[in-house]
Structure 1
């Protein structure tokens, strides 16, 4: 009988155990509670306490497991930095560049499940340059230039990190144009096309220089932009042996003028071979060369083509030689009427191709961009 009672007791225990496991699949204790949801997690970029932050670097605050109720980033003067919050309320980003050498402070709050709230707080400091370097760009906005015009950016101080600067430069054209940047020296970088610009090309340039580290503690002062137009295709063909200049426009002869070039017997007074460009135009130019006996000489309809001293200009005093002999001091002399007509036809940036001389112009007098071969030009890029 004892064995039967033991068996019945075991069966009853199993039935009670099965009955206990059949409700909801688990047992609960009246004292147990659901775990609290995790609070929102805020991430700052740059991190709290960061220093030497580039003022153009991405600046944002984001939250996981929640959304922002308010986000404010202020500078040292308490002014709010402009920014935008994403539609889902989880990320806020600045929409303007910051300043150099300033401390910025976060404030606000993020809310999560169960109305759990956490503060947004922290600060960071931007880099303080040893020097902020100014730059200028040409051509300027809204001008029309000739087909040989280069884009030129000049800096107030030497640039050490040329590759970083060059990566910040953008050229957009209304039609495909092959070109390249080249560093003419530590304070100037130019862009020119492989061949002359196509006529009537629209050009847009952006130099994103603010925040660029030039090296040695120097940074860019400001971004630069310009938009300009290339005009008709005009080229001056200047063969010194022909005693003329021929003006070609859009592939056809536009004008031809008798001329007198530099003296062939004196290398200092040659009109040297090379592709010059029209740099400036003045109705009257005062010319000086005391070594050759003249100062304060006024010449009309002066078109500068080199900083070495070459012009195309009127010289009625040399009329007897114009079209016959080369007797100038290196300039291209025309009669008054022809010089005036050419003056009014010329655009800044037009090429002037001098040939037939016994010497070449060395590539060191501005503007000498077209004195260099394409291979030489590309070798002067920092990238």
Structure 2
């Protein structure tokens, strides 16, 4: 009985094998060497899900130096990002908290080659890589700009902001977009091009007194036109002082000084000779451009050279000053007989000199001579409507 059971079990086992064999014989036989469809080499490797991209792209030429470098990943997270320049110096940058983006935090150099080395891990736990290089723009010429007023200066309420370039600017509109003015209070103003190399910003009305002004000229990497690029950014932060305005009506032979809108001082003066228009003190609103305790005056046309006068405040590049002329004391307050300057008695000239700030307005009326438009400080000789036409902004 025991033996018969064993034989029966064996027969069942053999039958099971036969059934399995019969079922598997319905399909085609696998190719020699293994199973699958890659010629016997096993299942093909799937590429990583994560995909890394960069701006500038790998192999990019003439990349901008002011735009940030950005490395991004899709279907994964960045685990390592290095952008290196010459000498393997790493470009500073920050990886976003979500691991999806790396952004540089410093500007690039002109005419340089940079190398990418980035890694990311995808949802499939596979590592994707980005390698390669790009090169930045190499300008035909770099131009430096200067900003005035200087840092920490205190200036008068008519002081313009002036940006001067070492060579002509062709793309004025682009340059204006790179210039920013910030103030403590809202102040309406505009940029105006006084020449190919100079653009000024002035308020519509005089500056409010005692405010702080900050200026940014983000010119590095900016195409000024014709293959010329800005060499560096420049900034300044200065303060507007008290409101002081000089008013001179030339026939009155008097120079009045107003503080905060109220008359503070009145000085007798002698202005340009009335009978000769070219010698008139010109009409217009000027500013105190500079101050010199002693200034030398030369005018060969009118027969004098190397004449020294004290307490001189320049109000134009055409040769006009407010200064001491004690030698002309007999005419001061009575007759206009100068060559265009405003003559004061020595004590009065010293008093005014000590009170003046560069940028204070000087308003002159009553003359037959218009303001000298050839001066490079002529911002207030234009009315507001005309000034706005000097801007390249659209």
Q: State the TM-score, normalizing by the size of structure 2.
A: 0.87
Q: Is the 8 A contact 2:48 2:127 kept in 1?
A: no
- Following the alignment from structure 2 to structure 1, what is the Cα–Cα distance between the partners of residues 313 and 124? 78
Structure 2 counterpart of 1:88 = 98
1:363 deviates by 1.8
- Following the alignment from structure 1 to structure 2, what is the Cα–Cα distance between the partners of residues 244 and 36? 92
What RMSD, in angstroms, separates the aligned Cα atoms of the two structures?
A: 1.6
Paired residues for 1:1-383 under 5 Å: 38-383=48-393
- Following the alignment from structure 1 to structure 2, what is the Cα–Cα distance between the partners of residues 114 and 199? 65
1:77 deviates by 2.0
2:278 aligns to what SS in structure 1?
coil
1:38 deviates by 4.5
- Following the alignment from structure 2 to structure 1, what is the Cα–Cα distance between the partners of residues 113 and 267? 66
Q: Using the TM superposition, name which of 64-73 and 342-351 deviates more.
A: 64-73
Per-residue CA distance 1:267-310 (angstroms, 9 max, x = gap): 22110111110000010001111121111111000000000000
1:368 deviates by 0.7
1:102 deviates by 0.5
- Following the alignment from structure 2 to structure 1, what is the Cα–Cα distance between the partners of residues 226 and 370? 38
Q: Is the 8 A contact 2:53 2:130 kept in 1?
A: no
- Following the alignment from structure 2 to structure 1, what is the Cα–Cα distance between the partners of residues 58 and 129? 13
Structure 2 counterpart of 1:8 = none
1:113 deviates by 3.1
1:37 deviates by 8.0
Bigger Rg, which one: 2
1:88 deviates by 1.7
- Following the alignment from structure 1 to structure 2, what is the Cα–Cα distance between the partners of residues 310 and 231? 24
Q: State the TM-score, normalizing by the size of structure 1.
A: 0.90
Q: Is the 8 A contact 1:37 1:114 kept in 2?
A: no
Structure 1 unaligned spans of 5+ = 1-30
1:77 aligns to what SS in structure 2?
helix
1:268 aligns to what SS in structure 2?
helix
Structure 1 segments (4+ residues) deviating >3 Å: 35-38
Q: Is the 8 A contact 1:72 1:81 kept in 2?
A: yes
1:57 deviates by 1.7
1:160 aligns to what SS in structure 2?
coil
1:337 aligns to what SS in structure 2?
helix
2:242 aligns to what SS in structure 1?
coil
1:319 deviates by 0.4
1:90 deviates by 1.9
- Following the alignment from structure 2 to structure 1, what is the Cα–Cα distance between the partners of residues 309 and 372? 26
Q: Is the 8 A contact 1:245 1:259 kept in 2?
A: yes
Q: Is the 8 A contact 2:79 2:121 kept in 1?
A: yes
Aligned pair count reads 353
Q: Using the TM superposition, name which of 262-271 and 249-258 deviates more.
A: 262-271
- Following the alignment from structure 1 to structure 2, what is the Cα–Cα distance between the partners of residues 230 and 57? 34
Per-residue CA distance 1:63-119 (angstroms, 9 max, x = gap): 112222211001122110001001122211100000111111101322223431122
- Following the alignment from structure 2 to structure 1, what is the Cα–Cα distance between the partners of residues 286 and 334? 23
- Following the alignment from structure 2 to structure 1, what is the Cα–Cα distance between the partners of residues 175 and 136? 20
- Following the alignment from structure 1 to structure 2, what is the Cα–Cα distance between the partners of residues 361 and 69? 66
2:81 aligns to what SS in structure 1?
strand
Structure 2 unaligned spans of 5+ = 1-34, 37-42
2:192 aligns to what SS in structure 1?
strand
- Following the alignment from structure 1 to structure 2, what is the Cα–Cα distance between the partners of residues 198 and 118? 59
- Following the alignment from structure 1 to structure 2, what is the Cα–Cα distance between the partners of residues 238 and 198? 22
1:362 deviates by 3.2
